[in-house]
Structure 1
Amino acid sequence: MPTTAEQEVARICRDLLRIDTSNYGGGEGPGEREAAELVAGLLTEVGLDVEVFEPAPRRTSVVTRIEGTDPSLPALVLHGHTDVVPAAADDWQVPPFAGEEIDGLLWGRGAVDMKDMDAMILATVRQMVREGRRPRRDVVVAFFADEEAGGVQGAQWAVRHRPELFEGATEAISEVGGFSVEVGGRRAYLLQTAEKGLAWLRLVADGRAGHGSQVNADNAVTELAAAVARIGRHRWPLTLTPTVDQLLRGVADLAGLPFDPADPDVVDALVAALGPAAKFVGATVRHTSNPTQLDAGYKANVIPGRAEASVDVRLLPGHEEEGMATLRELAGPAVRIEPIHQDTALEAPFAGDLVDTMVASLVAEDPGATVLPYTLSGGTDNKSLARLGITGYGFAPLRLPGDLDFAGMFHGVDERVPTDALRFGTRVLDRLLGSC
């Protein structure tokens, strides 16, 4: 009997977790080459042709295309990334790159972001190809490098330099959606249909350098500190986008709670009803702006002529311009704003053939469950694919224990994923690809 996706998904995930692909940003880190070699080997082993590209040393991505039975249909992109954020081993209960399985959970950096989905994609695709089954539409399967640094050497590079790899594609599926939460004692799956815009910004204040003992009304540190405090303490107004509105209405129905989009207390109660997932959803009812870095001066008795800070800003779809205008006002006339890295917000309708197929695939494996749309407070490589007119969704299907703080493990410590959730995900993805 040939190996099935359910049988091999945990092994593939474990093998990926044992490869350190930490991305420190700025090109620093071991890179994704070994992970890409593992991925390419798993794909070629079942007879798929792969494209491997490396725009910078060791920043390696892999792409293949599975030909569909109906060439008139638009292609689907099924993609993941193989890099992970760094992990401080001393903070973890287990070594972050050991890929240990303990009590039915796989532990390791990337277990939830997103080597779990990488493994589910690989196992499902391998099974489909081994069995000689083809989807109706072409499926482009991609494993990108560098997502944790904005995708500059991964998805962004591929879109700019190899757009032909995605020829004919109109929709994409990737991470941070399709996982379960418990609401009002019932299981619901959050399908990601939107994500906030990304703006990593540098605040710069120029002043008059001088001796620390002198009166100085043009102190760059003072101006910068005031701007940072204003931005960091700003209470952004409640703003419900269509996706968030639809999500919270669904939560209200499941939990038997009232819904009033203009009442912050009511909205907070609905967010809280999502349990651990409230960490994600709570950051999508308004813009956020968090100062993250400060840099000024070189000696205690010298007033520097320049001071800088970094701010991580996440802007709601459809409200990006007004958000930036408010930031400029908060920064004030003495502080200028320079972009470090910016990317667009996305919002797609919770409707259409692909959405219907994702919902049906989940419900077929978990009858009685509810599927709701939600907005991701972070970002994915779908931002890059959007430049080609490709509409992206987050759909990494996992049926999770209600008490597992899944959202809190993204970029956190002690990442772990249940192996039975991985097996569930392969079944859902197999149904999805078989119906596309």
Structure 2
Amino acid sequence: MKTIINPKRSDWSKILKRPTQTVENIENTVNEIFNDVQRNGDKAISKYTELFDGAKLESAIVSKKEIEEASKFISEDLKTAIQTAKLNIEAFHKAQKTERVTVETSQGINCWQEKRPIQKVGLYIPGGTAPLFSTVLMLTVPAKIAGCNDIVLCSPPNSKGKIANEILYTAQLCGVTKIIKVGGIQAIAGLTFGTKLIPQVYKIFGPGNQFVTVAKQLATKFGVAIDMPAGPSELLVVADDTAKANYVASDLLSQAEHGADSQVILVSTSKGFINEVKLEIEQQILKLPRRDMAQKAIDNSKLIYVETHDVALDVINEYAPEHFIICTSNEDFYIDNISNAGSVFIGNYTPESAGDYASGTNHTLPTNGFSKAYSGVNLDSFTKSITFQKISKEGMLNIGKTIELMAEAEGLQAHKNAVTLRLKDLQ
């Protein structure tokens, strides 16, 4: 990791740049695959599954028998862990339910808002080197609580045409409607356009690599909503001498092992602590099974020293991390003043891993600085708000003239007439 001492503000954007390809380098590939899937449907999807995943499938649909077989390979201890995590995630997301909001804005005018579930949702679950069955929990649990009718899950198969047993077990436990062996750009394209095998959905959820992120953004051009741009994982830790260097190093490595394009950053007001963490990372990384991948991410990561917590906060808000860990004596300063972060973890005993798996909060979060404008996945992500209004005769008499004047001022005579006709009948 590169150590940077008191960087100039003018250099922050360069220092905090993510190690990702530019969209221009990816868009051509994404567009090409989208066009192919739109024209050729399942035939195109099968071609790309064989090309990218090395799997030639007889059927892309996961059968009931495959799910039953997968369950046999999950230990009882892991099943218990998954069920415990599910309960915590359910508890947190059920607490986000809101009642109907009703207001009489003026006498005789009643307005209210109600939540309705998005009927058809597509969930993208990364596979590859780390099949993220925890993401199945994070997406399916709130979808079920919201009341979504169709929950379609796509995940890339391995070269043998299989999806990880843990993903299949968790999907059936949580009530997924349909599981399809397809990943990458072709999965997002299939959910966008619909094929004979893949249902078209109204909104697509889930993290992925840079190609999946750009594919999701392209899907919006075809009328399909997405949860957020969610690409390679990232973590920023702010720490001072009250933190434990071995804990902080382990947290940084926990995100670095996601992939070579992940990024981790430590911001500290202590040069001594930065050196301690650097040493801990060098020692701990040697014991990781995924150390080669973690090392590539570490090579793209930074250790940043700043003199004051005020400057540290400015750096953090500029970076807008997906995950933000606070390990300082003045944690309330950061809690009260952080503006841009996907999810915040507070104190020496709150590792980011807790949020990834079982504490209850959602781990599908905005990356690449998008936490400046996007929220992480929550219950509202699976619903839409519909407004209602009912105006009585008295209400129309009270507000009618106001509407007429405004419509006339905008030059919209038909709008005015819709009110004038009613007022004549009432007077």
More helix by share: 2
TM-score relative to the length of structure 1: 0.27
**Which protein has greater RCO, CA pairs closer than 8 Å, 6+ apart?**
1
More strand by share: 1
Structure number with bigger Rg: 2
TM-score relative to the length of structure 2: 0.27
